[in-house]
Amino acid sequence: MSPGPAAGEAARERSRRLTLRLWGVLCLCAGLGLGAWAWQRGQAAPQASGYVVVDGLAYPAPVEDTKAYNRQMEVMGGKGLVAVEAFSRWLGGLSRSRVFAGLLAAAGLGLGLAFFRIAARPAVRDDEDPGQSP
């Protein structure tokens, strides 16, 4: 006795559901793990890379925020280099934000739950066309 086409479809359906559930678990783990990493990193304050002296007092400040640094960057690479460097600093600061950590965790949770929801629904077969009735 051969198992027939119904057994093949059932095996394919189980395989599809297992794959979707695995993707769901992967998204959950990645999102929550990256969120936890970014949350922990968000506690670290950026360190000053230089000092600005005002009225005889030295204040810690990033060298990247000075006019001399921006002018030197513009001379070396033009306005494009200044824009790329500002974007790079923005991305670096974003990874130290707790809001970004929450977004990563929420995105991983949402994507994982979406995969689980899709896995729970039955697959649409080719011979079933909802637009046509017999």
The domains of the chain are located at 8-44+96-124
Does the reported pTM lie above 0.75? Answer: no
**pLDDT at residue 72, rounded to an integer:** 87
- The one-digit pLDDT tens for each residue of the chain (134 residues) are 556 667 778 888 899 999 999 999 999 999 999 999 888 877 656 566 777 788 888 887 777 777 888 888 888 888 888 888 888 888 877 777 788 888 899 999 999 999 999 999 887 776 655 665 55
Q: Which of 20, 24, 35 is nearest to 106 (CA)?
A: 35
**pLDDT at residue 7, rounded to an integer:** 78
Contact 130, 53 (CB under 8 A): no
